[in-house]
Structure 1
Amino acid sequence: MEILQLVGLGLVVTVWAVVLRQNKPEWALFLSIMAGVVVFLALLGPIGGVVDVLRQVGERAQVSDIYLGTILKIVGIAYLADFGAQVCRDAGEGAIAGKIEFAAKILVLVLAVPIVVAVLNTLLRLLP
């Protein structure tokens, strides 16, 4: 989907959700979540293209698949956590949204440790 289609979808769903929220708030939340899923699914194709390009560049630069995979996992965690937190906020659950974001930060930190160690080891080898 082009950006105009996605923005149009977002605006139409927003108007419907505002109207529904007055009488059927649960349906408004469901509509909001479904719109988010549709947008996410529409972006899977372009995301796959970016991943392919990154893999090709990584192969040419002789970067280990472990590091590239870790970076892609970190990006995925960030996007999914943001999506989940936004859904929680839409449902009025800001506290749960904050906990999702906190958990994502911890997971990113855990995944980043091997990369940081590899960078530090490389720097130590370069120093006399």
Structure 2
Amino acid sequence: MQQMIALVTLVVPDYDAAIKFYCEALGFDLVEDSKMPEGKRWVVVRPAGAGGTGLLLAQASDERQRSAIGNQTGGRVGFFLHTDDFDRDHAAFTAAGVHFRETPRVERYGKVAVLEDPFGNTWDLLEPRP
């Protein structure tokens, strides 16, 4: 048997704002943007060229969901974007206006810095050590 995690839902305040950040600032591919009933959309993005897990961008539809935006992992870094060239991506993201919470650092597992999306979700940009 072979299994994989295909999508992870990320609750956002607005579909278009999320698409703009993930696709323009981080360079993700917009895999799908389909209309659904009741004004909802099925929006999937994933890192450029990646064939693995994608993000399902889900617009909050009620107060409970809105209260989870930016705190879906209880304040912990919730997402990890691996790269083959940290310096290239850090420079490109910074030029695109991405907010980094810290300066890059080298850890035993690789070069890393925490970035924040416009909605408060935190990511590790990480170039793992070989």
Class of the TM-score when normalised by the shorter of the 2 chains: under 0.3
TM-score, scaled to structure 1:
0.26
TM-score, scaled to structure 2:
0.26
Which is greater in Rg?
1
Instruction: Tell me which protein shows more helix as a share of its residues.
Output: 1
Q: Does 1 or 2 have the higher relative contact order (CA < 8 Å, sep 6+)?
A: 2
